[in-house]
Amino acid sequence: MSIPDTDDPIGLFAAWHEEALQCGLKNPTAMALATVDPAGRPTVRMVLLKGFDVAGFVFYTNSESRKGQALEANPVSALCFYWPPLDRQVRIEGPVARVSDAEADAYFASRPRQARIGAWASRQSHPLADRFELERRLARFAAKFAVGAIPRPPYWNGYRVRPQRIEFWREGAFRLHDRLVFTRDGEDWRRERLFP
């Protein structure tokens, strides 16, 4: 079955994403995030998609982490979703910018309490002497925030990838895959099919 012709890549992504949510995957919002570190070396890891719309694709992280430092030095990235039960993947490339403080605050407040405390306790990507060091920090911040609201740490931020290129891929028999790519042209999209 061919990927349908459409002029709306965000709408197509929304449809595929909804199917992924329904197909029984453990983490259907998991995506590979590729960045370029300050020395120009590429690096990739898995993160979770926390929202998307015509403005872009959003995830959250510690801006002092390795990925946060990479994004500050080179604010571009690539994302890749792979949904094996559906024989589909989506690749997205584009510049990255932080979400607004209000948006980050709202999302942080929606997280489970323990996850909010964990964001304070973890010095993401920094050396850790042993597991007990993390447990001590967790206990310290659990006591500090035992009652009341837990504010968002100043280093915990959201990032939005503004897509410049989106490629939809569907597995085909005999490796004759179906590929449909959208490239941003101003505020519009240019669409073309690619050889597998």
Tokens of 187: 């505020």
Tally Cβ neighbours within 10 Å of residue 195.
6
- CA separation for the pair 184, 111 (Å, rounded): 33
Residue 45 is a catalytic residue: no
Task: Give backbone dihedrals phi and psi of 161, rounded to 5 degrees, phi first.
Answer: -90, 115
- CA separation for the pair 67, 168 (Å, rounded): 25
Tally Cβ neighbours within 10 Å of residue 115.
11
Q: Which of 175, 179, 184, 193 is catalytic?
A: 175
Q: Which of 176, 4, 12 is nearest to 90 (CA)?
A: 12
- CA separation for the pair 157, 1 (Å, rounded): 40
SS3 content of the chain, % helix, strand, coil (to 5): 30, 35, 35
- CA separation for the pair 152, 175 (Å, rounded): 47
Tokens of 10: 């965000």
Q: Which residues are catalytic?
A: 175
